[in-house]
Amino acid sequence: MSHYTSKLGALIGSRICHDLISPVGAISNGLELLNLSGTPIGPEMTLVSDSAAHANARIRFFRVAFGIASTERSMAYAETTSILWDVYSEKCTVDWRITDNLPRSEIQLAFLALMCAEQAVPFGGKLAVTGHAGALCVTATAARVLPRPEHWAILEAPNDAEDVPAAQVQFALLPMLLADQERKPEFKLSDQSVTLTI
């Protein structure tokens, strides 16, 4: 991936997330004010509140995964886990085992790797991230692990992949970003687990 192309794509991702985060946050704030005013909160309001919170969490996650990521700016453990625990709190859980602050570019790679691993556990499971900057490992385990080989093959030849579904774009983007750092993804697939090393 050319530097210009990757930067343009990241700028688009950042712009979309930036423009969406304010109105979604306003919805959450409005709901909170209604709650403080004593307005009865029924199931409809609970549904709207939960949906707004989930949308806010996904936007924060996508801003890191698809936006501009600097090697000079770092993300703290608390910020990283706050984003992950808000996103992965239903079918999948995440165990982020790296306590050190990491460059934002490394967090971006880890988030994309998590998105890849998540696809292998469609019925839910456990995701774990270990390692350090320059050598991260994401593992997915579940009662039923169903990796799609055609998706994982994209990691090995992203330039040869045509018509990548939007839901699988992480499989094409991750190896391209790694190539910019002269790194390659390695993975192992089985019926019990999926391991992705970046």
User: Which of the listed residues 15, 44, 68 is the one where a domain comes to its end?
Assistant: 68
Residue 85 shares a structural domain with residue 147: yes
* The pLDDT value given to residue 161: 67
* The pLDDT value given to residue 4: 47
State which residues form the domain around 15: 1-68
Expressed in angstroms, the distance from the first to the final Cα of the chain is 17
pLDDT in tens, 130-145: 999 999 999 999 999 9
Tens place of pLDDT for every residue, the chain, 198 residues?
444 455 666 666 666 756 666 666 677 777 777 777 777 777 777 777 777 788 888 888 998 999 887 667 899 999 999 999 989 877 899 999 999 999 999 999 999 999 999 999 999 999 999 999 999 999 999 999 999 999 999 999 877 767 788 888 899 899 989 988 899 999 999 989 999 999
* The pLDDT value given to residue 46: 75
Residue 59: count of CB within 10 angstroms of its CB: 18
Residue 171 shares a structural domain with residue 80: yes
Residue 82 shares a structural domain with residue 170: yes
* The pLDDT value given to residue 89: 78
Residue 96 shares a structural domain with residue 188: yes
Q: Where are the beta strands (DSSP E) in the chain?
A: 74-75, 92-96, 102-103, 125-132, 135-141, 186-189, 193-197
* The pLDDT value given to residue 5: 56
DSSP letter at 155?
A: G
* The pLDDT value given to residue 14: 61
Tally the domains of the chain: 2
